A and B are shown apart, each in its own frame.
Chain A
């Protein structure tokens, strides 16, 4: 029976699987790019666009496949566990061996999925950092821009004008120019319509600022929040990786104990002393 040899290779596989990177995921990549087109989108749409891009990638599709395989493997493990409860002898050993092997395969799938998730999260973090950097650059560039400065001056001047408009209008009356100009008439007429249109624009959902818990935030703040979420996910994935390594260790120990059991028997089995002829027992024959 070459079961011990298979068991040894199984233990080696499990041990190695804890340390080496999964190469099977090569070619199932996701390469997001922080393009200018992406930066121009509203921050909450940036998040959705990135998620959508990821879900359409070969990496995400492979993750779905892996999840399906893991579910299948899990049901096999459950039914094997039930079978073991009713088995004994050689059949029990075989089923326990099968269980360890299935657990090992499950862990392989789990590790591959874990690796892909880590990879995707790292890429997402890098992407958010690039987006944040570009947003900051854009805002910095705009605030330093000469046109921006000039527009600010115009806005201040407009405010000054608003404060004295009534005064200027009344001075026109004093000067006997009580008839309003066509420009002033048309402007006043259009103003209400313009305000209504502006209100409609500001209330339009496509123009809404991103919100965090019903509070409106800037794009920069929203992306910073996304980075925070990515850190949280990273931390949880690290914890999952730790759980995974403990599970792999347990399967390795199961396999090792099964190997010892097959090779040396059950630990309850008493070591039997071989009958040997003691000199004292035969001494009488020589007397």
Chain B
């Protein structure tokens, strides 16, 4: 009887984690990633400001990417967000996947979305 109670208690302890938002870490990652891209593309920032901002975000992204990859709750949720994140590793885990190619994260992101200097320079502004 006592053993059953102990096992039940342990099980309930293990299951308390599931009450938390299972996608919390992934949502944080998405926000930071968006912030990194924003900072890189923000024309209102000068070079020093951009570098300062990007460095701070980069620091946080390193930690958050690792958190997401170690977070079992993300995959247990089986949400579309999680599916999409792991189907597109190159874009989701920008810092670590760019390190595989020894590229800065921004260059890596641009090449993943097929944006090259040539294609940007040959682009014309106009109405669709």
Q: Identify the A interface with B (CB < 8 A).
A: 146-147, 150-151, 153-154, 157-158, 160-161, 163-165, 167-169, 171-172, 175-177, 181, 183-184, 187
26 sample A-B contacts, Cβ–Cβ < 8 Å, listed by A number: A146-B83, A147-B76, A150-B75, A150-B78, A150-B82, A153-B89, A157-B86, A157-B93, A160-B93, A161-B66, A161-B69, A163-B100, A164-B96, A167-B102, A168-B95, A169-B62, A172-B59, A172-B62, A175-B55, A176-B55, A177-B55, A177-B58, A177-B59, A181-B63, A184-B62, A184-B63
Q: Is B67 an interface residue (CB 8 A)?
A: yes
- Tally of A-B residue pairs with Cβ under 8 A? 71
- Please state if A164 and B99 are interface contacts (CB–CB under 8 Å): yes
Given contacts A147-B75, A157-B89, 20 further A-B contacts (CB under 8 A): A146-B83, A147-B76, A150-B83, A153-B89, A157-B69, A158-B69, A158-B70, A160-B89, A160-B97, A161-B66, A161-B96, A163-B100, A168-B62, A169-B62, A171-B99, A172-B58, A175-B55, A181-B60, A181-B63, A187-B66
Closest partner residue, chain A, to B71 (CB atom): A154
A258 CA to B89 CA in the complex, in Å? Answer: 91
Q: Is B36 an interface residue (CB 8 A)?
A: no
A184 CA to B66 CA in the complex, in Å? Answer: 9
A120 CA to B46 CA in the complex, in Å? Answer: 84
- Please state if A161 and B75 are interface contacts (CB–CB under 8 Å): no
A214 CA to B116 CA in the complex, in Å? Answer: 60
A244 smallest CB distance to B (angstroms):
45
Q: Is the interface of B mostly helix, strand, loop or mixed?
A: helix
Closest partner residue, chain B, to A168 (CB atom): B99
Closest partner residue, chain A, to B59 (CB atom): A177
A138 CA to B100 CA in the complex, in Å? Answer: 37
A158 CA to B75 CA in the complex, in Å? Answer: 12
A175 CA to B59 CA in the complex, in Å? Answer: 10
A147 CA to B55 CA in the complex, in Å? Answer: 35
Closest partner residue, chain A, to B92 (CB atom): A157
Q: Is the interface of A mostly helix, strand, loop or mixed?
A: helix
- Please state if A183 and B63 are interface contacts (CB–CB under 8 Å): yes
B48 smallest CB distance to A (angstroms):
13
A187 CA to B72 CA in the complex, in Å? Answer: 16
Chain A residue numbers with a CB within 8 Å of B65 are: 161
Q: Is B74 an interface residue (CB 8 A)?
A: yes
- Please state if B66 and A154 are interface contacts (CB–CB under 8 Å): no
Task: Sort A-B residue pairs by CB-CB distance and give the 3 closest, nearest first.
Answer: A153-B86, A164-B99, A150-B75
A158 CA to B70 CA in the complex, in Å? Answer: 7
- B86: contacting residue among A150, A163, A168, A176, CB under 8 A: A150
Q: A160-B96, A161-B65, A184-B63 are in contact. Are A153 and B87 (CB under 8 A)?
A: yes
- B58: contacting residue among A147, A153, A175, A187, CB under 8 A: A175
Chain B residue numbers with a CB within 8 Å of A176 are: 55
Closest partner residue, chain B, to A159 (CB atom): B69
Closest partner residue, chain B, to A154 (CB atom): B75
Closest partner residue, chain B, to A145 (CB atom): B78
Chain B residue numbers with a CB within 8 Å of A177 are: 55, 58-59
A146 CA to B87 CA in the complex, in Å? Answer: 13
Chain B residue numbers with a CB within 8 Å of A147 are: 75-76, 78
Chain A residue numbers with a CB within 8 Å of B87 are: 153
Chain B residue numbers with a CB within 8 Å of A164 are: 96, 99-100
Which residue of A146, A176, A183 has the most chain B CB atoms within 10 A of its CB atom?
A: A183
- Please state if A154 and B69 are interface contacts (CB–CB under 8 Å): yes
B41 smallest CB distance to A (angstroms):
20
Chain A residue numbers with a CB within 8 Å of B78 are: 146-147, 150
- B100: contacting residue among A153, A160, A169, CB under 8 A: A160
